[in-house]
Amino acid sequence: MRRIVICAAAVLAASAATAAPNPGHGKQLYEAYCTQCHGVSGHGDGINAAELSVQPRNHTDQDEMGARTDEDLFKAIKEGGQAVNKSVLMPNWDGNLNDGDIGDIVAYLRELCCKEGN
């Protein structure tokens, strides 16, 4: 019986790791972790932005965001801006967010930059 429980847990863990990104969850995480610098609407105008020597990325800029791959965005969030040759002021979030959470934020960023009117 114990072997079956362990196998079932492994299958559930593997399926969770490969689950499709959830932009709704990504939005919640973005609001908690990213808006201080990037702003509630993603325009790079968060409450900390005025004090930063390098202005935060405008996540609604289709040209800028379109030039970034999902892998680049994922790496920037996980390892910080310096990991993708961007601002050292962008912290790494791998201590706070797991890979699934980061994938959800990337999915939300794609919605944010590409929605109608941006």
Find the angle CA(13)-CA(72)-CA(76) to the nearest 5 degrees.
80
What tokens were used for 45? Answer: 């105008």
- The pLDDT score that the predictor gives to residue 19 is 82
User: Which pLDDT score is estimated for 114?
Assistant: 84
Give the tens place of pLDDT for each residue, 61-86.
999 999 999 999 999 999 999 999 99
- 73 touches 61 (CB < 8 A): no
As assigned by CATH, the class of the 22-114 domain is mainly alpha
Sorted by where each begins, the domain ranges of the chain are 22-114
CA-to-CA distance for 51 and 86, rounded, in angstroms? 18
Count of alpha carbons within 13 angstroms of residue 98, beta-carbon side: 6
Phi first, then psi, for residue 57 (nearest 5°) are -60, 140
Could you tell me the pTM of the whole model? 0.82
Residues of the chain with pLDDT under 70: 1-18, 116-118
Rounded Cα distance, 85 and 116, in Å:
29
